[in-house]
Chains A and B, each alone.
Chain A
């Protein structure tokens, strides 16, 4: 059912050209006078899952919010299907691009089916309020995210994982094949995070182009076809996880010491972080490791690390 799910009329016309449908061209975005992103170019590859990763404050959420028109760039343009997003009506954008912000909150008492039904808003007007088409789309969105049996429950009575499925269901009911998700696994335990990301992969399999921001690097590596690695407002590297994820890049982007190994269950690399403690002797002397890490490793062993560093 998933294949026909996105090919129906209500999901908008698929563009026939193979190029990117969503791109940022020379965008400068910031809050107040401080530019978080300065003159950045990026194109989202069609039909795959793209994940933006990077350290806290690197501008990854800012980039996602810019791509979804939630933030207006001071310079540059965001292009959706060849048109400048700033010149499109927000409702017309909503017919092409679905977005799920970070940790959304539903009003108390709102039922699952009512929330998902609100996803149909871009397709409704005062003259055309609710149709059987809408009902069908909502039903399929509920079914695809596995929340049909929760339809009459209040959203606030659900567990975190169920709730996130419901929100994704609402975004699906919007009927776009371009989905942008800002940290869809925030506040979820690992099992529920995997559950939600499997669902995201189902959506991708059914033909959606997905862009996410994720914090967890291993989940990002496992579930993405294209990674955009950001640091200090610019793109450090991008490409398939197999090509992008290396110990050197992790050090450069995050200042993280890690070993990158073959994933014993997946077909992508697996990142094994090396912390200061609980690490086997010899593991700390990785090739390509920078001088300062060797130094801090040494000072820890010799007991010169200030006590406060252990306090938390």
Chain B
């Protein structure tokens, strides 16, 4: 499957996403709502409202966040040389969750618009602390040290999150909503800034791909071929934190997506990260969008959050990969 094919699939799925929901719309209705002249007909105005304020934002967010999580997952697996690494490994999910419950408990924020920036801040601080911890002492920069530091910070923050949410009913409610991972209900006021952060993350990611290929031959070989380990690791970790932190801030933690699409991408492209990473990005967008659509269909007129569907569909898919021995080490 080529990158072009994947892009076409993404466009088709994106179009489907605009038509599917509690109220099914036909393609002409969607087209008219997007590009048609303003009209006074009550029904059409309602459709316009649905398309422009609900369907379009959630579709855009699913694509942007999917790309970010896919690329982030492929990068973290490459940097840690660990095929089961996920963006959550750097503590960004735990950091975002802790920040969300904390500001709700402290300031009584009720609206995602208010706490999304704290979620991003929490993700960034957790990422920096984990990377800092992994950069001091004798195991400096070692992928195993990074994984251990990430695990330690994650467990600590999860405990703090539980402590705060158990003592504050409002936080617990918000956490339940936030923690499932959803692309719905977020407006462009949040989506555009998040997209800018993600774009910066993608540019940084693109600059480290050749070095990442060499890091996968081992640190000594990479240095022998002239890779500046500290620089390429730092840039990579900053990119992962920007990508995963932004996506998590906007959607809540969506576990499993980055891990899963990185494996599918590796199966399609082989171990060259210059191909693997773009594939993982597009696959992430397609999968997250499909999961959001499925979530809108299965419990109509209610909805299942995209993060829940990712886990529900991803787990069996993953099991099949394991069973058929299609895994390749990172």
Asked if chains A and B come from one complex, the reply is yes
A residues in contact (CB < 8 Å) with B: 32, 68-70, 89-95, 97-101, 104-111, 114-115, 118-119, 121-122, 124, 126, 171, 174
Interface residues of B in 8-64 (CB under 8 A from A): none
Q: A107-B216, A118-B217, A124-B210 are in contact. Are A93 and B270 (CB under 8 A)?
A: no
CB contact between A90 and one of B216, B217, B228, B271 (< 8 Å): that residue: B228
A118 CA to B215 CA in the complex, in Å? 11
Across-interface contacts of B228 in A (CB, < 8 A): 90-91
A37 CA to B280 CA in the complex, in Å? 46
A110 CA to B271 CA in the complex, in Å? 6
A-B contact list, 27 entries, CB within 8 Å: A68-B224, A90-B223, A91-B226, A91-B228, A93-B226, A94-B226, A95-B226, A97-B224, A98-B224, A101-B218, A101-B220, A104-B220, A105-B217, A106-B217, A107-B329, A110-B270, A114-B272, A115-B217, A118-B213, A118-B217, A121-B214, A121-B225, A121-B227, A122-B225, A126-B207, A174-B224, A174-B225
Q: How far is the CB of B55 from chain A (nearest CB, A)?
A: 39
A70 touching B223 by the CB < 8 A rule? yes
Query: From A95, which residue of chain B is reached at the shortest CB distance?
Result: B226
A121 CA to B222 CA in the complex, in Å? 9
B residues in contact (CB < 8 Å) with A: 138, 207, 210, 213-214, 216-218, 220-221, 223-228, 270-272, 328-330
Q: A32-B138, A109-B270, A126-B207 are in contact. Are A99 and B220 (CB under 8 A)?
A: yes
Across-interface contacts of A124 in B (CB, < 8 A): 210
Across-interface contacts of B329 in A (CB, < 8 A): 107-108
The 8 A-B residue pairs with the shortest CB-CB distance, nearest first, are A94-B226, A91-B226, A101-B220, A107-B271, A99-B224, A122-B226, A121-B225, A108-B328
Query: From B83, which residue of chain A is reached at the shortest CB distance?
Result: A108
Q: A91-B226, A99-B224 are in contact. Are A121 and B210 (CB under 8 A)?
A: yes
A107 CA to B218 CA in the complex, in Å? 9
CB contact between A109 and one of B138, B213, B328 (< 8 Å): that residue: B328
A32 CA to B224 CA in the complex, in Å? 23
Q: A101-B218, A101-B220, A105-B218 are in contact. Are A119 and B272 (CB under 8 A)?
A: no
Q: How far is the CB of B118 from chain A (nearest CB, A)?
A: 36
A118 touching B226 by the CB < 8 A rule? no
Among A99, A108, A115, A126, the one with the most B-chain Cβ atoms within 10 Å of its Cβ is A108
Q: How far is the CB of B212 from chain A (nearest CB, A)?
A: 11
